[in-house]
């Protein structure tokens, strides 16, 4: 963005006809450019687009985690129902349903939560960079 106008104005002396092309640029330059935070504060269409995109990004992330969680949690009873032999399988001497429900699922929750926090904070960092850039 910053390079192209310079190149055009540098070549402007050779070819006066270029003025037609530059006229939108001068009109654009006359309008002051707001930081996006001001668009958000004044509730312009542009500001709303930014906010909606942030909400949508975060919601998609939340929905992803919830879907994975839902599949695991709602899948387990079905799995135990359809494959009753799983109760016979032993993990370190403990029946598999117990090993999963009374042990393994907790570290899995923490891992999912950690993943979510990392991504949510990254989304917010990106949004902040986007909005504060002028």
Partner 1 sequence: MNPAYGVTAVVVVVVAAVLIGGFGLRLSRTTSDFYVASRTVSPLWNASAIGGEYLSAASFLGIAGLILAYGADMLWLPVGWTGGYLVLLVLVSAPLRRSGAYTLPDFAEARLSSVAVRRTASVLVVLIGWLYLMPQFQSAGVVLHSITGAPDWAGGVLVAVVVAVNVLSGGMRSITFVQAFQYWLKLTALALPLVFLLMAWRARGAPGLPAGDSASWALPLASGRDYPVYSTYSLILATFLGTMGLPHVLVRFYTNPDGRAARRTTLVVLSLLGAFYLLPAIYGALGRIYARDLLATGQTDQVVLTLPARLLGGTPGDLLAALVTAGAFAAFLSTSSGLTVSVAGVIAQDILGGGGVRSFRVATVLAVIVPLALASTTRSLPVADVVGLAFAVAASSFCPLLVLGIWWWRLTPPGAMAGLLAGGGLACTAVLTTIVGGPHHGMAGALLAQPAAWTVPIAFVVMVVVSLATQHRVPGDVARVMVRLHTPEMLNVDRGDWRPRRS
Q: Which residues bind partner 1 (CB under 8 A)?
A: 37, 40-41, 43, 48, 51, 54-55, 58-59, 61-62, 65-66, 69, 73-74, 77, 80-81, 84, 87, 95, 97-98, 101-103, 105-107, 109-110, 112-114, 116-117, 120-121, 124, 127-128, 131-132
Separation of alpha carbons 19 and 1, rounded Å: 18
Question: What does the alpha-carbon distance between residue 77 and residue 71 come to, in Å, rounded to a whole number?
Answer: 11
DSSP 4: H
For the CB of residue 59, give the shortest distance to partner 1 in the complex, in Å: 5
Nearest approach, Cβ of residue 85 and partner 1 (Å) = 10
| Minimum separation from the CB atom of position 42 to partner 1 (A) | 9
Report d(CA 67, CA 96) in Å as an integer: 23
In the complex, what is the shortest distance from the CB of residue 32 to partner 1, in angstroms, rounded to a whole number?
Answer: 18
Distances (CA, A) of 134 to 8, 19, 33: 22, 27, 8
d(CA 65, CA 108): 12
Cβ nearer to partner 1, comparing 5 with 103? 103
Nearest to 72 by CA among 42, 36, 108: 108
Judged by beta carbon, residue 25 or residue 52, the one nearer partner 1 is 52
Query: Cβ closer to partner 1: 9 or 106?
Result: 106
Least separation in angstroms between CB 87 and partner 1: 4
């Amino acid at each position: 963005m910053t390079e192209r106008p310079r190149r055009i104005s540098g070549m402007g002396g050779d070819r006066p006809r270029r003025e037609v092309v530059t006229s939108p640029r001068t009109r654009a330059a006359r309008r002051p450019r707001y930081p996006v935070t001001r668009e958000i504060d004044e509730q312009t269409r542009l500001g709303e687009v930014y906010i909606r995109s942030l909400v949508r990004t975060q919601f998609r992330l939340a929905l992803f985690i919830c879907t994975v969680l839902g599949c695991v949690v709602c899948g387990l009873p079905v799995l135990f129902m359809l494959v009753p032999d799983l109760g016979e399988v032993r993990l370190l001497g403990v029946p598999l349903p117990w090993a999963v429900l009374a042990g393994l699922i907790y570290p899995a929750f923490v891992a999912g939560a950690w993943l979510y926090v990392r991504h949510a904070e990254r989304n917010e960092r990106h949004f902040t960079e986007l909005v504060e850039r002028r």
